Amino acid sequence: MSSQNITAALLVIGDEILSGRTKDKNIGYIADYLTAMGIDMMEVRVVSDIEDDIVAAVNALRGRYTYVFTTGGIGPTHDDITADSVATAFGVSIDLDPRAIDMLRRRFSDAELTEARLRMARIPAGAELIENPVSDAPGFHIGNVFVMAGVPAIMQAMLDNIAPTLQTGARVISETIEMPGIPEGDYGMGLAKIAKEHINVSIGSYPHLSPEGYRNQVVVRGKEETAVREAVKAVHDLIKQLQAKGFGDKTNATRA
């Protein structure tokens, strides 16, 4: 990869994901979204609602990647500790932010602005707010860290607001090649040779197990169109060679 690559990590915060109570829907969404923008998601972590763990993860990730996105833990209840943890990670103070209170006032009367709801206006010093058209309580970004809600509809709206502000890299071109009934074990070494000869692309092999047996796909990914096209051609040539030797279709039912 060149030094032009824009990278990201996602930090999912919440006991409920780790206990299995809530099934995460944000990882796949954000992965697709960033990939489409030319941002390479390099790592995901899921941590529980423990301040030390959140602080350690934020600091490990923000030093390593262009951007860090977090989801979860910015609501009005006592278990929402993401804002405080991010402030600790950056070594800044945290307090009620008048801009955030103004956003909450769009929805809540003074009487409704309870101590709990005001927790959603606690923002680390120096952070910029992220608008939330779904429920008004803002996210924020500080340094290279973007703090978003965990509720998917709200996270998605926040991400739409963040996206225009992000640096983007060259988009990855991805080509998927169906391996027609040929098991991985029969094309593996040929594919390894192709991977070694085409160092400007990454080549993956993905078996999918269905009731009918394996269905294998090879995916060639890269940022240079010519390099991707040459590697894809090499894979098609490999398929032809293997078919000429009698591999394919019926050999794949129960084989890796």
Using CB under 8 A as the binding rule, the residues of this chain from 176 to 215 that contact a copy of itself are 184-189, 191-192, 195-196, 202-209
Q: Hey, which residues between 92 and 121 contact a copy of itself (CB under 8 A)? A: 107-108, 112, 114-117, 119-120
Q: Hey, which residues between 222 and 251 contact a copy of itself (CB under 8 A)? A: none
* Count of residues near a copy of itself by CB under 8 A: 75
Q: Cβ 86 to a copy of itself, closest distance in Å?
A: 18
Contact region with a copy of itself (CB under 8 A), list: 76-84, 86-94, 160-168, 227-235 = 76-84
Mapped onto helix, strand or coil, the DSSP state of residue 63 is: coil
Cβ neighbours for 76, distance < 8 A, ≥ 6 positions apart: 114, 116, 117, 119, 120, 137
* Nearer residue to a copy of itself within complex by CB, 25 or 92: 25
Q: Cβ 110 to a copy of itself, closest distance in Å?
A: 13
CB atoms closer than 10 angstroms to residue 22: 13
The answer to whether residues 36 and 171 touch, using CB atoms and an 8 Å cutoff, is: yes
Q: Does 32 sit near a copy of itself (CB under 8 A)?
A: yes
The phi, psi pair for 77, rounded to 5°, reads -100, 170
Residue 249, exposed/middle/buried by CB under 10 A (0-12, 13-18, 19+)?
exposed
Q: Hey, which residues between 124 and 153 contact a copy of itself (CB under 8 A)? A: 134-137, 151, 153
